[in-house]
Amino acid sequence: MQALVSELLPSLRATLVLAVVTCGAYPLLVTGVAQKVFKDKAGGSLIIDKDGAVRGSALLSQNFAAENFFHPRPSAAGGGHDAAGSGGSNLGPTSQKLHDALKERVAAYRRLNGLTNDAEVPADAVTASGSGLDPHISVSNALLQAARVARARGLGLERVKALISTHTTDPGLGLLGEPAVNVLALNLGLDTLAPASRP
Amino acid sequence: MHATDWLQFALYLGILTLITKPMGLYLMQVLDTNGRTWLDPVVKPVEKLTYRLLGVDPQREHGWKQYTFAMLAFSLVGVVFTYAILRLQHLLPWNPQTLPGLSHHLAFNTAVSFTTNTNWQSYGGEAAMSYFSQMVGLTFHNFVSAAVGIGIAAALVRGIARSSAKTLGNFWADLVRATYYLLLPICVVFALFLVSQGMIQNFDPYTQVKTLEGAEQVIAQGPMASQVAIKMLGTNGGGFMNTNAAHPFENPTPLSNFIQMLSIFSIGSGLTYYLGRMVKNQAHGWAVWAAMVALFLGSVLVCAHYEAVGNPIHQQLGIAAADGNLEGKEVRFGIFNSSLFATITTAASCGAVNSMHDSFTPLGGLVPLFMMELGEVVIGGVGAGLYGMLVFVVLAVFIAGLMVGRTPEYLGKKIQAKEVKLAMLTLLVLTLSILGFTAWACVSGWGVAGLNNSGPHGFSEMLYAYSSATGNNGSAFAGLTANTPWYNTTLGLAMLIGRFLMIVPIMALAGSLAGKQTVPPSAGTFPVNGATFTVLLIGTVLLIGALNFLPALALGPIVEHFLMGQGRLF
């Protein structure tokens, strides 16, 4: 016990000194350099429109329900795409709740995109992502939505497909991760191509 | 697995192999009080000043007891430090969202969690923690708990390497040098790299957004990159955000994902080289490393296989079978990088996640669970992986000795009753904590009330929680609602048991080995290098893990796998 007590004073001092270095000097140095060199990224890759309003982050999903937009993956973050409360469904493989939700989403996806009742649905279109903020969908998911979006916007299907391909990110270094389509970037592209008449 | 998956896996293992030796050589300098590094011109003056402020003499070495007492005293102060910050969060600066102080049980759980290098999180970062709490209360432990782990591993290795010695090194020197020369410099570069990939690093209030469809969205911000760098490198794993490395800010690109995965294993892998160098038997270091990597390889393949096969119940609904099990996973990582990350984070005692393990297929989820139950010795956490594996080495040598009928020796040290008892003690305590707490939760109202899933998967959620806490991992089957007084307290106790009832016997083991005289190897000495030893070590780890945990695993993931095949839902 004596030995333990005699180490308390150095422990207290070590806590204070190391806190100043690792929780003061270090994060402030990183913040300083990051704000200088990567200001946009360090601030959350925000998308700001010509009126100066923030419309989202290039890295985060937001909700799209209208027919004339591409739809992101289902989200379990808060009420959906809550960027201040990320979350997955955390439902397991034998969950009745997950099964029922998937069944409903598969039917809705087929209906919305004019698919037959036995058409295969891409998994990412109906499953909730890990973060609830997954900005991407798979290429096959985007292509299945293309006809609906083209019709709603009065655009040729080929133009929409071309837009998908310009917004498809390749795997890092041509090899890491999976090809993916950023939904927000794609929808922004759509708006530039053919501004939607919104209600 | 696709061809690109194999390529990524090969690339990962290739780079890990390449950095092992340079990391080990650098550790030789860092963990020597008089070691020399290229950072000396800048860091040496700060190091000297630190010793002066602490009032310690780095040249005065500690025996195993004093080293342990210093470690315990420092950890105790650390728990109190963070507990106070979390309780008083609302009075402290850098709290733009005016978040309230934490409840006493959540503050206890979190303070213990970060002090023990567990980083179990009963809270969601963006909803509960101010920037000050994240940056000071939590990041502090990300550094020092990692440095303490490295120090303990170094002390044990010194105990093995030295002959008839009384001392194992100086705790304060190990702590300060590992922090200043190893963790901090790498983190500065690593954090800036992460920002270059899109990770946030600011003190802004949360951003108000008007979405394209005209809805409101609030985007959480904060000084993330500086914390995430050490969270990965120090195998802490506590996410800045609730969903950890699945959050696009916290892991923006496949490249950031790859480097984060590499950083988890980098120090642990280098420590095996450090072991070989210190005991002057490099082949032994590589033999231990090979056993770790072989176990890792097999685990990744099992996990990735079952995640790629996916869930037959969901596929019957019309979901493309070729896509695998994507529930809880991110498109940019896909099946393979999610499975690989899940295996790495539990093989090491990291616990960061880039996908939700709760939604894995039963056998895909069994892999991370089993990795933790093996004691996180597959590369393992910084320091903790090596000292955990050396316990198995002692047992392997003991078993080999029994088989050939000789007194077991390990690198010239006789392994006697005392050493074997200490080694067994650590393993029994861990097993008892995992199974005992899980059993308690199973039969208690408070335990079952926290479940997000029912049936065998609900049992798996509890088993996972106590395996993670005891193993100081910190990942979760995150459906479990753990922020209750009972869960927070029992998980907190499991973390304390897993950390300190492991370290104290290991330090006693180190002290006992240091005191022994090294005898030269004879014809009857069982060699601790080469393929035979590696296979024996793998067998020991698997045998003990299987004997301890197969019954529990059978009640959870294994039975769920067969029920899933029959289409049963809960």
Tens of pLDDT, residue by residue over B446-504, are: 999 999 999 999 999 999 999 999 999 999 999 999 999 999 999 999 999 999 999 99
Query: Looking at the structure, do residues A94 and A23 belong to the same domain, yes or no?
Result: no
Q: Is residue A71 one of the residues assigned to a domain?
A: yes
Q: For residue B348, which of B265, B464, B246, B446 has the smallest C-alpha distance?
A: B265
Q: Is residue B181 one of the residues assigned to a domain?
A: yes
| pLDDT(A198) > 60 | no
Per-residue H/E/C for B240-273: CCCCHHHCCCCCCCHHHHHHHHHHHHHHHHHHHH
CA angle B142, B427, B113 (to 5 degrees): 25
Q: Which residues of B touch A23 (CB under 8 A)?
A: 135-136, 139-140
Q: Is residue A199 one of the residues assigned to a domain?
A: no
Query: Looking at the structure, do residues A147 and A70 belong to the same domain, yes or no?
Result: yes
> In sequence order, which residues have a C-beta less than 8 Å from that of residue A168 and are 6 or more positions away?
A139, A142, A179, A180, A181
CA-based nearest distance A25→chain B, Å: 10
The pLDDT, as a whole number, for residue B191 is 98
Q: Is residue B504 one of the residues assigned to a domain?
A: no
Q: What is the pLDDT of residues B412-455, one digit of tens each?
A: 999 999 999 999 999 999 999 999 999 999 999 999 999 999 99
| pLDDT(B151) > 60 | yes
The pLDDT, as a whole number, for residue A195 is 78
Q: What is the pLDDT of residues B223-233, one digit of tens each?
A: 999 999 999 99
Q: What percent of chain B has pLDDT over 90?
A: 97
Q: What average pLDDT does range A183-199 have in this prediction? A: 83
pLDDT grade for A199, boundaries at 50, 70 and 90: very low
Q: For residue A82, which of A124, A130, A133 has the smallest C-alpha distance?
A: A133
Query: Looking at the structure, do residues A101 and A9 belong to the same domain, yes or no?
Result: no
φ, ψ at B403 (rounded to 5°): -70, -35
Q: What is the value of ipTM here, to two decimals?
A: 0.96
Q: What average pLDDT does range A150-167 have in this prediction? A: 95
Q: Residue B339 and residue A130: Cα distance in Å, rounded?
A: 13
Question: What is the token pair recorded at A160?
Answer: 């929409």
- What is B281-346 written as a DSSP string? -HHHHHHHHHHHHHHHHHHHHHHHHHHHH--HHHHTTTB-GGG---TT--TTTHHHHHHHHHHHHH
A13 has a chain B CB within 8 A of its CB: yes
- CB–CB of B27/B270 below 8 Å? yes
Q: Residue B191 and residue B446: Cα distance in Å, rounded?
A: 40
Q: Do B248 and A135 touch (CB under 8 A)?
A: yes
Query: Looking at the structure, do residues A30 and A72 belong to the same domain, yes or no?
Result: no
CA-based nearest distance B78→chain A, Å: 7
CA-based nearest distance A48→chain B, Å: 10
Give contacts of A 98-137 with B, CB under 8 A.
Answer: 98-99, 102-103, 106, 110, 118-124, 126-137
- What is B14-83 written as a DSSP string? HHHHHHHHHHHHHHHHHTSTT---TTHHHHHHHHHHHHHHHT--TTS-B-HHHHHHHHHHHHHHHHHHHH
How many domains in chain A? 2
Q: Do A8 and B73 touch (CB under 8 A)?
A: yes
φ, ψ at B278 (rounded to 5°): -65, -40
Q: Is residue B222 one of the residues assigned to a domain?
A: yes
The pLDDT, as a whole number, for residue A125 is 98
Q: Is residue A198 one of the residues assigned to a domain?
A: no
The pLDDT, as a whole number, for residue A196 is 64
Q: Do A106 and B317 touch (CB under 8 A)?
A: yes
Q: Do B227 and A17 touch (CB under 8 A)?
A: no
Q: Is residue B515 one of the residues assigned to a domain?
A: no
Select the residue of B211, B230, B243 nearest A88 (Cβ to Cβ): B243
Query: Looking at the structure, do residues A81 and A131 belong to the same domain, yes or no?
Result: yes
Element (H or E) spanning B426, and its range? helix B417-442
Question: What is the token pair recorded at B435?
Answer: 């199974």
- CB–CB of B201/B250 below 8 Å? no
Q: Is residue B169 one of the residues assigned to a domain?
A: yes
Q: Is residue B247 one of the residues assigned to a domain?
A: yes
Select the residue of A89, A169, A191 nearest B359 (Cβ to Cβ): A89
> In sequence order, which residues have a C-beta less than 8 Å from that of residue B103 and are 6 or more positions away?
none
> Which chain A residue lies closest to B358 (C-alpha atoms)?
A90
Q: Is residue B180 one of the residues assigned to a domain?
A: yes
Query: Looking at the structure, do residues A55 and A150 belong to the same domain, yes or no?
Result: yes
The pLDDT, as a whole number, for residue A197 is 54
Query: Looking at the structure, do residues A130 and A72 belong to the same domain, yes or no?
Result: yes
Q: What is the pLDDT of residues B380-401, one digit of tens each?
A: 999 999 999 999 999 999 999 9
What are A47's strand-pairing partners? A56
B111 has a chain A CB within 8 A of its CB: no
Range of the domain at A104: 46-193
Question: What is the token pair recorded at B518?
Answer: 């090294």
Range of the domain at B53: 20-281
pLDDT grade for B334, boundaries at 50, 70 and 90: very high
Q: Do A30 and B311 touch (CB under 8 A)?
A: no
A165 has a chain B CB within 8 A of its CB: no
The pLDDT, as a whole number, for residue A194 is 80
Query: Looking at the structure, do residues A178 and A86 belong to the same domain, yes or no?
Result: yes
Q: Which residues of B touch A121 (CB under 8 A)?
A: 318-320
Query: Looking at the structure, do residues A80 and A31 belong to the same domain, yes or no?
Result: no
Q: What average pLDDT does range B331-355 have in this prediction? A: 96
Query: Looking at the structure, do residues A163 and A104 belong to the same domain, yes or no?
Result: yes
Query: Looking at the structure, do residues A114 and A25 belong to the same domain, yes or no?
Result: no
Q: Is residue B249 one of the residues assigned to a domain?
A: yes
Query: Looking at the structure, do residues A58 and A16 belong to the same domain, yes or no?
Result: no
Give contacts of A 65-94 with B, CB under 8 A.
Answer: 65-66, 69, 73, 77, 81-94
Q: Residue B147 and residue B381: Cα distance in Å, rounded?
A: 11
How many domains in chain B? 1
Q: Residue B553 and residue B558: Cα distance in Å, rounded?
A: 6
